[in-house]
Amino acid sequence: APGDPMRADHVLRIGSVTKTYVAAAVLQLAHEGALDLDDPISTWITTYPGADGITVRQLLNHSSGIFDYTEDEELRLAAMADPARAWSPEEIVAAAAAHDPYFAPGAGWHYSSTNYILLGMIIEAATGEGVAGVIRDRLLEPNALSSTSFDGEEPIAGELARGYTGDGTDMTSVIHPSLPWSAGALVASAGDIARWAVALYGGAALDPGSLAEMLAGPVPTGVEGQGYGLGTLVIGREVLGVPAFGHDGGAPGYATMMLYYPEQQAA
């Protein structure tokens, strides 16, 4: 309740750290032959403009040029005006498709949560299952992540710490979890995020080839020493003194940073 101290086992909205789980699920499916990273997304999604010229890999590393729906002011205001309203992935993607792309597919880098809504849709099309169930069965349960859940698709596991702005405004439930969906709806404890980083980057969650692919050839992001692999930030030694992998995330009232240091095998 408001006024109670936060505990280490409270869960928080982890925002875009969700993208690491979605990318891992896609890489598992690619390893099994259920999809190919270099397939055009039109294999799975026929309605997106130019889908035959955009690959799954370009969604994963944000080189698709697709507009980021979180930058659509009209959509954001509509979502905040009615926090109980559920949004379909198709609605979100249509809002993004109404904007010009940032560049031609593969011609640059621009972070876009729309890429990961599309990846959620592709996971569902490739498996015939809901994305929350795929993440649970493939990643959460095998790695004993019992304080992690996909908000909006399943009950929150654990007690959610409330999120606030600096002036004390309660932001915990200002947008429906269907809006971030596969780009950012996961809720987790700090301990579970650290365990996930160890499982992912330490090699338990993916086969060695898929993990290598996730981290190889990161696209420059424009930030010194920082590139973006497949759903993962790849941070050079010059930034923190040691190399690191991870992701950051934000949701109204919440901020998350997950980092793994391979030389120390620490998260």
Condensed to tens digits (0 to 9), the pLDDT of residues 24-53 reads: 999 999 999 999 999 999 999 988 999 999
For residue 5, tell me if it sits in a domain.
no
Which residues 6+ apart lie within 8 Å of 14 measured at CB?
Answer: 184, 186, 187, 188, 193, 249, 251, 254, 256, 258
How far is Cα 173 from Cα 37, in angstroms, rounded to an integer?
35
Look at residue 264 in the predicted model and tell me its pLDDT.
Answer: 97
Q: Identify whether 182 is part of a domain.
A: yes
In a domain, 87, yes or no: yes
Alpha-carbon distance of 231 to 21, in angstroms, equals 8
How far lies 161's CA from each of 15, 117, 146, 194, 198, in Å? 14, 25, 16, 18, 24
In sequence order, which residues have a C-beta less than 8 Å from that of residue 205 and are 6 or more positions away?
24, 139, 142, 143, 196, 199
**Which residues does 210 contact at the CB level (< 8 Å), separation at least 6?**
27, 28, 30, 31
Assigned domain for 67 exists: yes
What is the count of structural domains for the chain?
Answer: 1
Token pair belonging to 35: 């999809």
Query: Looking at the whole model, is its pTM more than 0.85?
Result: yes
Measured distance CA(182)–CA(178) in Å, rounded: 8
Q: Is residue 2 part of a domain?
A: no
Domain membership of residue 1 (yes or no) is no
3 inside domain = no
Closest CA to 131 of 119, 145, 142: 119
Under a CB-based contact definition with an 8 Å cutoff, are residues 183 and 19 in contact? yes
Strand order in the sheet with 219-220: 219-220, 226-228, 233-235, 244-251, 254-260
Domain of 125 in residue numbering reads as 11-260
Question: Which residue ranges in the chain fall short of pLDDT 70?
Answer: 1
The alpha helices in 107-189, defined as continuous H runs, are 113-127, 131-135, 181-184
CATH code, domain with 174 = 3.40.710.10
Nearest Cα residue to 231 out of 10, 25, 12? 25
Residue 6 counted as domain residue: no
